[in-house]
Amino acid sequence: MPETALPSRVLEVAAANTRAGIAGAMATVVARHGSAPATPGQKLYVAENGNAVGTVGGGAIEREVLAALRELLTTTDAQPSVREFRLGPELGMCCGGRVTLFLEPLVAPTSVLIVGAGHVGSALSPILRRLGFVVHLCDARDDLGPAPADAPRTIGDYDDIGKALPTSSAVLVMTHDHVLDQDVLEWALRRGFALVGGVGSRAKAQRVRDRLAHKGFAEADGARVRMPMGVDVGARLPDEIAVAIAAEMVAWRRK
C-alpha cells in the first residue's frame, strides 16, 4: 500500500532516492476521460527497494499501475511510455472512464565509494563526479590537511559509509596501506557490491587473490576484483591513473 502523498511530496521522495543511488519508476496522470477517480497531475512512485508513495486514484487502476511500475524496474533499458487504462472493460471498475498515464523509469546515478583520499583518490573523485557518478571519498586518517575544493571527503570508517550504499555501487580501494587494502576488498566482496576494484601492480593483484583463496573466498570472488584498475594507457602520474580508472568506470557503467 503506497504512502498517500501529494505530487510535491512524491517528487521530493523520488529526487532524494535518486540522489542516494536508488532507482525507481514513476507514473503521472496525464488525462482523465469520463468518470474516473484519477486527477491529472497525480503521481505514484515506486523505489527499487519496494517503497511506494503517492496515488493515481486507488483501487484496481492503482494495482495495475503499481504492477506496471515494478515491471519497469526489472526491465533492462526500460523506456518512458504513455498508457491508457480503461476502468470499465479492462479493470472492472464501475466508474467506467479512461485514464492516460505517463510511465517513466528513474535511473539513479551509480554510486562509487573511493576508500583512500590520497593523490589518486583525490584526483579521481572530481573526474567521476563530472561524469555523473555519485562519489563518496573517505579516509580514516585525520591528518591529511584540507581537502581540495573539488574533492570533498569524509574522515571516517568505510563500513559506516558503505552501509548506506546500494549493492549496485562500486567500491574502489586505494589506501596508504596494503593490509588495509586487503581488508576493504574482502569487505566489499562480502557485501556483494557490483564492482570491486583497486590500485596496484599485477604482482599485488596476484597476492590479493592468493590471500582471498587462503581465506576461503571462491575463485569467482578473486576474479571479480579489478586490479590493477584502469584502462592500460601507460599511466604513471596520479592524474593519469585517475583518467585511466575513470575510463574503465565509464566502460563498466555502459556495459
Whether 100 has a pLDDT exceeding 80, the answer reads yes
How far is it, in rounded angstroms, from Cα 132 to Cα 103? 24
pLDDT in tens, 67-79: 999 999 998 889 9
Mean pLDDT for all residues in the chain: 92
Which pairing describes strands 225-226 and 134-139: parallel, antiparallel, or unpaired? Answer: unpaired
How far, in Å, CA of 135 to CA of 222, rounded? Answer: 24
**pLDDT score, position 93:** 54
Percent of the chain with pLDDT over 90: 73
HSE of 243, CA atoms in CB hemisphere, 13 A: 9
**pTM for this one?**
0.77
Top-tier CATH class for 111-254 = alpha beta
The CATH 3.40.50.720 domain(s) of the chain lie at: 111-254
Q: How far apart are CA 167 and CA 171, in angstroms?
A: 10
Position 218 scores a pLDDT of: 96
pLDDT value, residue 94: 53
List the strands of the sheet with 24-33, edge to edge: 52-54, 43-47, 24-33, 98-106, 81-86
Mean pLDDT along residues 200-216: 96
Residues 18-27: pLDDT tens digits? 887 789 999 9
